[in-house]
Amino acid sequence: MNWKKLLVWLVVWSLAGTAARSSLAAGSSPRPNILFIFTDDQRGDTIHALGNPEIHTPNLDQLVERGFHFNNAYCMGSMHGAVCLPSRTMLVTGRSLWRIPVTPRAQTNAPPGVPLLPKLLNKAGYVTFHCGKAGNACAYGNAAFSINIPTEGRTANSAAEHAEETIKFLKGHDGAKPFFIYLAPPVPHDPRLAPAEFTKLYDPAKLTLSKNFMPQHPFDNGELHVRDEELAPHPRTPGAMRRHLADYYASISDMDHQVGRVLAAVQERGLAGNTIIIFSSDQGLAVGGRHGLMGKQNLYEHVKPPLIFAGPGIRHGQSDALVYLYDLFPTICDLARATTPAVIEGKSLVPLIRGQQTRGRETLFGAYRDCQRMIRDERWKLIKYKAGGVKNVQLFDLKNDPDEVVNLAAEPKHAGELSRLEKLLGQARKEFGDPVDFENHRPTPAVNPPGNLKQPQAKP
């Protein structure tokens, strides 16, 4: 997309959105179209407009600048190394980690009695369209879409191919019904490949490593040698980490360009005035050596993805509320004016987006396998580990240490905060049905997830 075309659709979309805002908020307009873009392994700080001066994301920047974004959106976690699988299953079922149905990965028949987001939207009169990866996705959820285009593998053209399928759908859409598009390109997941026009944007030598870069993690977290961590040599070196970061950024810039093409197609069909855009990812990851790590098999803040809303009825702003990705289920239902089933555990974000609420949850819980547990509130965060027969505890003051560099767990003056958070963690484990007796359990050895998780290694 050239800059003139980009400017045209931005102006048209802005004017159309302003005209539609009051009627949509009042529920008097037709049901909105919803374009939901859900990337793969994209960290929340990989958008220029969200504070990263080194990455090129002009289309996502415009969504941020005219929309509403959440700074603390989390995937609750995973029971195995393929974090994207439970993340996507929580999203489409609206349930928390240990309450999602456990089925064979390729099963396309939905478990009995489990409400699925696409089925509810089909019933509400939507044409539902999914295009995204087949592996480590919720197969039975994707099969419930009116149109389901599953894809395999990753190439330098994956982002473009997924955009093409979506544009093809938009060009053929007759407008008789609103649409819900779930576009899930398998990028920037490794192998991080992108066309040359995007790789040349990044000179690894000029990229900045994070403040929490470490050559190695300070202790065994239970997953130091899972497949994601073996994509780069140990110990981590600045040169190797900058090379990985350059490839990561190039994949995201390519994806951003393809997002622009899809948005332009919406505008060209005259649908911008009644189309809400939601942009997020299944989880972030540590690529670049944050805490000496590369993957998403941990509970540090870099596992947060972006979460952006834009379009009619969406005000400009941001929120620090603590939210889960599975909150998107009732949020999308609210935006579509569809009834959310009572069994759904997520909480609609619409009141926060519209300014009817300013705060969300008091605390947020996270878990990874049987070796890591986390609880945080607006300021403090506790992570507990059990690996190799050793217990480790980390306490971070996120207000003064957002990069989680200084562990305060052993500081006597913070003993009260540590005790308070440990109590809250116990309550959260009980609330969410944590099946692991974490304090007394002996974790099982880490293993690489099977089958479709084995991808070629990224360049060293």
| Pairwise CA distance, residues 327 & 341, whole Å | 13
| Pairwise CA distance, residues 282 & 73, whole Å | 10
Which residue, 166, 174, 179, 149, is CA-closest to 265? 166
| Pairwise CA distance, residues 77 & 83, whole Å | 7
Fold of 364-453: Arylsulfatase, C-terminal domain (3.30.1120)
Which has the higher per-residue pLDDT, 28 or 239?
239
Cα 207 to Cα 52, 252, 277: the distances in Å are: 11, 15, 30
The predicted structure's pLDDT at residue 14: 52
**Confidence at 444, pLDDT banded by 50, 70, 90:** confident
Residue 148 host element (H or E): strand 147-151
Whether the pLDDT of residue 254 is over 60: the answer is yes
Q: Which two tokens stand for residue 233?
A: 């040599």
Sheet holding 380-387, edge to edge: 77-78, 364-368, 372-376, 380-387, 390-397
Contact 292, 233 (CB under 8 A): no
- Mean pLDDT, residues 154-180 taken together: 97
**Confidence at 10, pLDDT banded by 50, 70, 90:** low
Pairing of strands 307-310, 275-281: antiparallel
**Torsion angle defined by CA atoms of residues 95, 101, 104 and 107, in that order, rounded to the nearest 10 degrees:** -80
Residue 74 host element (H or E): strand 73-74
| Pairwise CA distance, residues 9 & 60, whole Å | 13
DSSP 269-312: TT-GGGEEEEEEES----TTTBTT--SSSS-SGGGPPPEEEEST
Nearest 5°: the CA angle 63, 317, 300 is 80
Which residue, 241, 219, 154, 146, is CA-closest to 193? 154
Adjacent-strand bridge partners of 318: 69
The predicted structure's pLDDT at residue 19: 42
The predicted structure's pLDDT at residue 455: 31
Contact 55, 256 (CB under 8 A): no
| Pairwise CA distance, residues 28 & 243, whole Å | 51
Q: Which range has the worst mean pLDDT, 227-231, 369-373, 446-450?
A: 446-450
Cα 31 to Cα 23, 127, 147, 270, 373: the distances in Å are: 11, 12, 19, 15, 40
Whether the pLDDT of residue 94 is over 80: the answer is yes
The predicted structure's pLDDT at residue 389: 83
User: 458, exposed or middle or buried, with CB in 10 Å at 0-12, 13-18, 19+?
Assistant: middle
The predicted structure's pLDDT at residue 388: 82
- Mean pLDDT, residues 421-445 taken together: 91
Digit-coded pLDDT (tens) for 100-109: 998 887 888 9
| Pairwise CA distance, residues 305 & 281, whole Å | 5
Convert 355-367 to b/e letters by CB count within 10 Å (16 or more is b): eeeeebeebbbbb
- Mean pLDDT, residues 347-369 taken together: 96
Which residue, 280, 337, 253, is CA-closest to 35? 280
The predicted structure's pLDDT at residue 429: 97
Digit-coded pLDDT (tens) for 23-49: 344 345 689 999 999 999 999 999 999
**Confidence at 440, pLDDT banded by 50, 70, 90:** confident
The predicted structure's pLDDT at residue 456: 31
**Confidence at 230, pLDDT banded by 50, 70, 90:** very high
**Over the chain, what is the mean pLDDT?**
91
Residues 6+ apart with CB under 8 A from 26: none
In whole angstroms, what separates CA 250 from the centre of its chain? 18
Digit-coded pLDDT (tens) for 258-301: 999 999 999 999 999 999 999 999 999 999 999 999 999 999 99
- Mean pLDDT, residues 15-27 taken together: 43
Q: Which range has the worst mean pLDDT, 91-100, 101-110, 119-128, 368-377?
A: 101-110
Cα 83 to Cα 154, 170, 186, 284, 453: the distances in Å are: 18, 31, 14, 10, 10
The predicted structure's pLDDT at residue 28: 52
Q: How many CA atoms lie within 13 A of 226 on its CB side?
A: 24
The predicted structure's pLDDT at residue 457: 35
Q: Which CATH class is domain 3-353?
A: alpha beta
Residues of the chain within CATH 3.40.720.10 domain(s) are 3-353
Counting residues of the chain whose pLDDT is more than 70, the rounded percentage is 90
Peptide bond into 150 cis (omega under 30): no
Residues 6+ apart with CB under 8 A from 293: 217, 229, 286, 300
- The dihedrals phi and psi of 442, each to the nearest 5 degrees, come to -105, 110
Residues of the chain within CATH 3.30.1120.10 domain(s) are 364-453
Pairing of strands 390-397, 380-387: antiparallel
Adjacent-strand bridge partners of 149: 131
